[in-house]
Structure 1
Amino acid sequence: MANIEYDPERQLFHLHNDTFSYVIQVIRGYLVKRYCGPALDHFSGTAKLEDFSHAFNIQNDAAPYSLTTLPLEYSTLMGGDYRTPAYAVRNGHGQLIGNLKFDHYQILAGNESFNGTLPTARTPHGQTLIITMHDETQTLAVRLKYTIVGDLPVLLKQVEYRNLTDTTLTITHAASLQLDFDDHAYDLITLTGAHLNEAKVTRQPLTPGKKSIGSNYGASGPQGVPATILAAPATNEFAGEALGVTLLWSGNFNYTAQVDQFDNSRLVMGLNPELFAWQLKPGKPFVTPEAAVAYTNDGLNDLSRIFHRFFADHVMPLPRKNLIEYNTWETTYFDVSEAKILAEIPKAEELGVELLVIDDGWFKNRPNDAGQLGDWVPDPVKFPHGLRPVADAIHARGLAFGLWVEPEMISENSELYATHPDWAMQYVGQKPLRSRNQLILDLSQRIVQDHLITVLTNLVRDNHIDYLKWDYNRHFSQPGSPVLPPDQQGEVGYRYTRGLYRVLKTLRDTFPKLLIENCSSGGGRLDGGMIAYTDQTWTSDFTDPVYRMKIMNGFSLFFPLKIFVSHFTASPNLQDARLTPLHTRALLSLVGITGIECPPSQLSPAETAAVKASFAFYKANRKELQNGLLFRLRPSHVNQDEVCWLITNAAKTKA
């Protein structure tokens, strides 16, 4: 049970549940982190704060302490703290607003949502503390939100900025959290990678200086995932202390781990400041993404299971049955048609498939990736009767019908671009920079969001679609918006991601039974934000089953099995030509959500038998395979080609 206690005599806040405690104290008006770890009955405060005052101290009212070393909750530059800042806000003189001090607090039930479209964890049994701070000139108010989850050692953090003046302020740094520690005896565990090589695990000790991971690509990865772990050096999969942090965010991000001159450490995570600047106007608050902090002293497997439960129970859409899928991509590529789909239905049904998905190539003028993104109308040659007869034929066999879309993109040869060239993200006067022969729609514009909502709503409703595969196949370039004034161009990335969430939320609210699969050339946007609005994720475009297990092993540090999509594929593999035994291909496709990529009608008798048996086993054990407890039996970072998993039911009576 979650509880937040305030001791007015010591100005001390104790946020705790049965397994976790987090303690904040107001000292000389500054918010100081006093404890983060296993649950305490009472915080005695016997652990003294070090007095690091020295000749080069900035003299301020924190004495006898130094802001250079105090474990602060949320700090800025040039006010005595020279470490990585959590916030930087400039006033009308172009100068940084100074240190924030405690003003007042509130304690609320559940999780107070600062904004309706930003992903927010559900915490019906949690409690929320909101601490409001002001700077000395009464120019800026910052509200720090802390929510202690009721049933897990998880603390949520989020920040809201308010302008107290009648002029505009400029935010250039806006972190969701700051965590300070009085030592640096930790290993930093990160997930980095590339297209076809997602979620590589790296573990390295913290050393003096800074280590930063981030994205300025417009999406969260795959170059870096907005999630990291600080672990004691001796921590392994089964024992030891570890603290994990992740963002519920899908856009540009950054986190920095720093060891300072006195061997203290700090972790700051939030929006990437490289391309960010927000005009904070009077009466219009700005809100950061929500961050989640999880703690364990029982090893990395336990930390992962905490995150798995957190995402499954508190973030993901309400549970629904994830279906065994046949996807047409490796059967037809762009050369898909009504005739080819209808021919595969009987064999797919025979195998035990529950969902048939038409991938890219179904809409008009799409013979290759230079085709007409933005005009979501069936190709009259490939589908002369439209999609509805195909959907009806699939439904008649008791299967669900799915469709691939890439709504955030636009091609210059599309009717949409001819009508609305100003809807494409662009820099004024510069030639557009293309990737995969496409531009990006400017989702920072509400009119563009409304257009996508209308088009996708009609597409789903008119064609009785049960599932959408939502793809995103290029990164930002020239992130400008023709409708924003010059001083707001630094807001495009943030507004874009918020716009994406609005579109997804509206679809979810309109079609509560619609399954949505998240894809960004694979796992390029697998994060806590997309998890809030989608049911599953295509973890990589690399379909080699052995390599794919390595990718899922990395993602499993944070994300639950029930979101991973893993399909039976051809051997030799179409991408790396690896020859994989039939039994291995069938076995590895069972992880998470199973399905098939290769054409059912072209399977050999042995492959047909193996896939049928695999799907039958999956149906009999779906609950455990999607929701079971995961134990990694080999360390993730040592030899990433070695993956050994044990999956059990919740009672650990079945494996």
Structure 2
Amino acid sequence: MEIMMSQTLTWNAGPVSMAFEYADGQPVVMRALEINGVSVQFPESTPIAEVMTTDTGHMISCNKLTHTVIGRELRYSSHQTNTTGYRSELKIVLEDEDRDLEVAVRYSVDERSPMVQTDVTVTNMGLEPVLLDSVTSWSSTFGIPANADEGTESGLEHWDLLEGRFDWLAEGRWSRKSLRELLPAIGQELTNVDPRQSHQVVSTGTWSTGTNVPLAILESKAMKLAWLFQIEHNGAWRWDVQDNTADGCVALSGPTNENHAWFKELHLGESFTTVPASFTIAHEFDGVIANVTDYRREVRSPHVDNVEPSVVFNDYMNTIYGDPTTEKELPLIEAAGKAGIEIFVIDCGWYDDTGNWWPSVGEWMPSKTRFPGEKGIVEVIDAIKDAGMIPGIWIEPEVIGVKSPMAQKLPDSAFFQRHGKRVVEQERYLLDLRDPAARRHLDSVIDRLVGEYGIGYFKFDYNVSPGAGTDYDADAPGAGLLGHNRAYSDWIDGLRERYPDVILENCSSGGMREDFAQTSRFQVQSTSDQQDFRLYPVIAAASPMMVLPEQAASWAYPQSDMGAEETAFNINTTFLGRFFLSGYLNRMNERQLAWVQEGVNAYKKHVQPVIGESKPFWPMGLPGWNDKVLALGLDAGDRALATVWSRDSEGGDVRLHLDRWTGRAGEVSAVYPVDGYAQWPVHWDAASGELVVTVPSDGGYVSRTFEVNFN
């Protein structure tokens, strides 16, 4: 009988503690995890790295990211720890001697935030090529509470999965399902083999949130345990939740051969590093949301605008619609300045002389027909500055229109290609930022717009996706796409270094790219292109699931044909996020403009000073797309802000759960709208921890924001 002596490795970093077990005849597995005092043990485990090559595959036939032959045969070799400033890292080095493979699993913790980031690097140490088909960024079983009774099992029936669906105009649709609905009990115990079934969630191309979401939550209310995990990547990805019989398992990955036409061939000494992933645990949903909110704030690019986000006006939505001219802009600028706006953005079309702004993008030279006169567009930009606002401008940096002069000036190597042909999508070529010529072009554009015009805010849009990717100078289209994704992030990082004060907005047909690789680098995130103000509140209310409240730019577009309640409904959609306004302010009468000004002033007084340190919460739960009444809250310590929207509901008492403040005395006040508006009855029930709001029963689209100050 062979006896294997196992060893344990424990690593502590700020709020995180991790324990691993390994032996000569066993892979390295995680046995314990503690984050912010919440502890999990893993009686059942899975290897910390899963690597699949063309010539090894799975131990059992399936299409899971786990159960790989190499994953089971990797053995502990060494480990290293390092701390620089607030960041601590653990690197566990594994080896497969028979295949001359070295695999390094990196765990990284910012000691100010309760979350772990991880990635995996595979290196070929031998003469034979290594043909990679997939490599997990992270995988783990669900585990059970560290203080669980002996014999406690983490059955899938105890767990719910919360996942999101996005689409153009329909972002932020979250749903909760029991895992047993997704992965039914099938009696696999009789076979002594783990089932093939898994819940696989996949995203292709570069719209990382174009359909599915690279973030999800697993919660067991019975065990008082919740996981939040995310893939931090602005391209193709996949995550799985699996039934491993004795426990559930989650696995995260960037592109794979099976799903994304990705493949990587490694020769002697060559390495491949996965896209990063991150995870956290807490006792419940609110806890993991608080953890990821802290993580987002600590890890994102520093900027003076992060703490107290500036108020933005953009001329596009339900307003100029990509047809800017001097004549149209000057009255809008004057009205926006009077309303208290701090940034004015000229959206798409400013470069176009053809009358069709879509296929002419790419050179980014101001139109002389749209902005006639001696000064051209400078007349508009100077008007913005004279009104006390920062000038902003829209560009779509990653594309070149088929009718743009740059389509002929740049070499083919600057573009996505497949089979020797440039990739075309809706009259656009797609720039490949691995190519120096593509980066030089974009650098020259930004340098000119900042240096010559004083642009202080860029809205970067991205309205097409290239499919599988580019096979030019790449092992496979998915590998070329991953190279571009990483080169784009590097380009943004370089832009940040050259122009640290410039504010960047991330937009991809609205919220089609809300992954953390993007949002960690941008100050502002567009949440949608939704044009119907009656539908937008669901998107706005759900947005802090993916981005910080102060980043979430949800459009408000009040118009001169709207009454007081519709105007307030619009304003409240943007109120607990990044205040983001459009609409023909110049066509409003004095009273209508006063409603807007009241909203701007109330935001600056009540929200702007605290939003950069607040945490989101959902006092009625996450909103459903067809909910008649919905709400969003911000936890600002001894103060809570809550917005309630009623979408033609029957009215009556609505009970908002503010559980954290149960038992504390509180004073409630209306924040917006106030002047000239009917006030809704509201009171704080300290005993139950509920804010009771009486919604009018006469229907319509109405909304109020309240503030509760706790003693």
Which TM-score band (shorter chain)? 0.7 to 0.9
Q: What is aligned with 2:418?
A: 427
Q: What is aligned with 1:144?
A: 105
- For the residues of structure 1 that align with 2:350 and 2:616, how far apart are their CA atoms? 38
- For the residues of structure 1 that align with 2:632 and 2:490, how far apart are their CA atoms? 37
2:392 alignment partner, SS class: strand
Q: Which amino acid aligns with 1:361?
A: G
Decide whether aligned partners of structure 1 residues 152 and 98 sit closer, same or farther in structure 2, where only a CA change above 3 A counts. closer
Decide whether aligned partners of structure 1 residues 79 and 193 sit closer, same or farther in structure 2, where only a CA change above 3 A counts. closer
Decide whether aligned partners of structure 1 residues 340 and 259 sit closer, same or farther in structure 2, where only a CA change above 3 A counts. same
- For the residues of structure 1 that align with 2:420 and 2:61, how far apart are their CA atoms? 40
| Aligned residue runs from structure 1 range 521-536, under 5 A | 521-536=509-524
Q: CA deviation at 1:414?
A: 1.1
* Aligned with residue 73 of structure 1, among 27, 35, 48: 48
* Aligned with residue 285 of structure 2, among 279, 288, 300: 300
Q: What is aligned with 1:198?
A: 171
| Aligned residue runs from structure 1 range 292-441, under 5 A | 292-297=278-283, 299-320=284-305, 321-329=308-316, 330-365=318-353, 367-384=355-372, 385-420=375-410, 422=412, 423-428=414-419, 433-435=424-426, 437-441=427-431
- For the residues of structure 2 that align with 1:419 and 1:578, how far apart are their CA atoms? 51
Decide whether aligned partners of structure 1 residues 33 and 578 sit closer, same or farther in structure 2, where only a CA change above 3 A counts. farther
Q: Is 2:80 the partner of 1:106? A: yes
Decide whether aligned partners of structure 1 residues 83 and 295 sit closer, same or farther in structure 2, where only a CA change above 3 A counts. farther
Range moving further from structure 2, 361-370 or 216-225: 361-370
Q: What is aligned with 2:671?
A: none
Q: CA deviation at 1:354?
A: 0.9
- For the residues of structure 2 that align with 1:266 and 1:455, how far apart are their CA atoms? 47
- For the residues of structure 2 that align with 1:399 and 1:181, how far apart are their CA atoms? 50
Q: What is aligned with 1:186?
A: 159
Decide whether aligned partners of structure 1 residues 219 and 140 sit closer, same or farther in structure 2, where only a CA change above 3 A counts. farther
Q: Deviations over 1:435-473 (max 9, x none)?
A: 2x3231222323312321222222222211000000000
Q: CA deviation at 1:81?
A: 6.2
- For the residues of structure 2 that align with 1:212 and 1:48, how far apart are their CA atoms? 23
Q: Which amino acid aligns with 2:47?
A: L
Decide whether aligned partners of structure 1 residues 86 and 141 sit closer, same or farther in structure 2, where only a CA change above 3 A counts. farther
Q: What is aligned with 2:694?
A: none
Q: Please tell me whether the aligned partners of residues 468 and 478 of structure 2 are also in contact (alpha carbons under 8 angstroms).
A: no
Q: Deviations over 1:75-110 (max 9, x none)?
A: 346564667655899xxxxx9797211100001114
* Aligned with residue 460 of structure 1, among 445, 450, 468: 450
Decide whether aligned partners of structure 1 residues 83 and 40 sit closer, same or farther in structure 2, where only a CA change above 3 A counts. farther
Q: Which amino acid aligns with 2:448?
A: N
| Aligned residue runs from structure 1 range 508-547, under 5 A | 508-547=496-535
* Aligned with residue 24 of structure 1, among 5, 20, 25: 20
Q: What is aligned with 1:649?
A: 636
Decide whether aligned partners of structure 1 residues 38 and 402 sit closer, same or farther in structure 2, where only a CA change above 3 A counts. closer
Q: Please tell me whether the aligned partners of residues 86 and 177 of structure 1 are also in contact (alpha carbons under 8 angstroms).
A: no
Q: CA deviation at 1:546?
A: 4.3
* Aligned with residue 598 of structure 1, among 574, 583, 592: 583
- For the residues of structure 2 that align with 1:375 and 1:88, how far apart are their CA atoms? 49
Q: Deviations over 1:181-203 (max 9, x none)?
A: 36333211111121000121021
Q: Is 2:266 the partner of 1:280? A: yes
- For the residues of structure 2 that align with 1:558 and 1:372, how far apart are their CA atoms? 32
Q: Deviations over 1:600-626 (max 9, x none)?
A: 101233320111011011111212234
Q: Please tell me whether the aligned partners of residues 187 and 232 of structure 1 are also in contact (alpha carbons under 8 angstroms).
A: yes
| Aligned residue runs from structure 1 range 564-643, under 5 A | 564-570=552-558, 581-621=566-606, 622-636=608-622, 641=627, 642-643=629-630
| Aligned residue runs from structure 1 range 232-271, under 5 A | 232-233=220-221, 240-260=224-244, 262-271=245-254
More strand by share: 2
Q: Please tell me whether the aligned partners of residues 339 and 597 of structure 2 are also in contact (alpha carbons under 8 angstroms).
A: yes
Q: Please tell me whether the aligned partners of residues 79 and 99 of structure 1 are also in contact (alpha carbons under 8 angstroms).
A: no
Decide whether aligned partners of structure 1 residues 361 and 469 sit closer, same or farther in structure 2, where only a CA change above 3 A counts. same
* Consecutive unaligned residues in structure 1, runs of 5 or more: 1-8, 51-69, 90-94, 111-123
Q: CA deviation at 1:250?
A: 0.8
Range moving further from structure 2, 182-191 or 350-359: 182-191
TM-score by length of 1: 0.84
Greater relative contact order (Cα 8 A, min sep 6): structure 1 or 2? 1
Q: Which amino acid aligns with 2:20?
A: I
Q: Please tell me whether the aligned partners of residues 79 and 98 of structure 1 are also in contact (alpha carbons under 8 angstroms).
A: no
- For the residues of structure 1 that align with 2:429 and 2:250, how far apart are their CA atoms? 35
Q: What is aligned with 2:33?
A: 36
* Aligned with residue 549 of structure 1, among 531, 534, 537: 537
Q: CA deviation at 1:388?
A: 3.0
- For the residues of structure 1 that align with 2:241 and 2:38, how far apart are their CA atoms? 30
* Consecutive unaligned residues in structure 2, runs of 5 or more: 144-153, 184-196, 641-706
Q: CA deviation at 1:18?
A: 6.7
What is the number of equivalent residue pairs in this alignment? Answer: 595
2:609 alignment partner, SS class: helix
- For the residues of structure 2 that align with 1:513 and 1:431, how far apart are their CA atoms? 36
- For the residues of structure 2 that align with 1:589 and 1:244, how far apart are their CA atoms? 26
2:166 alignment partner, SS class: strand
Q: Which amino acid aligns with 1:619?
A: K
Q: What is aligned with 1:163?
A: 124
Q: CA deviation at 1:40?
A: 6.8
Q: Deviations over 1:268-315 (max 9, x none)?
A: 112131221122233342222221111111x22222121111101222
- For the residues of structure 2 that align with 1:147 and 1:431, how far apart are their CA atoms? 39
Decide whether aligned partners of structure 1 residues 337 and 16 sit closer, same or farther in structure 2, where only a CA change above 3 A counts. same
- For the residues of structure 2 that align with 1:34 and 1:223, how far apart are their CA atoms? 34
Q: Which amino acid aligns with 1:251?
A: G
Q: Deviations over 1:456-513 (max 9, x none)?
A: 222222211000000000111362244x16x344411101101111221111110000
Q: What is aligned with 1:493?
A: 481
Q: Which amino acid aligns with 2:173?
A: K
1:202 alignment partner, SS class: strand
Q: CA deviation at 1:316?
A: 3.7
Q: Please tell me whether the aligned partners of residues 131 and 144 of structure 1 are also in contact (alpha carbons under 8 angstroms).
A: yes
2:465 alignment partner, SS class: coil
1:137 alignment partner, SS class: helix
1:279 alignment partner, SS class: strand
Q: Please tell me whether the aligned partners of residues 304 and 558 of structure 1 are also in contact (alpha carbons under 8 angstroms).
A: no
Q: CA deviation at 1:339?
A: 2.8
Q: Which amino acid aligns with 2:380?
A: V
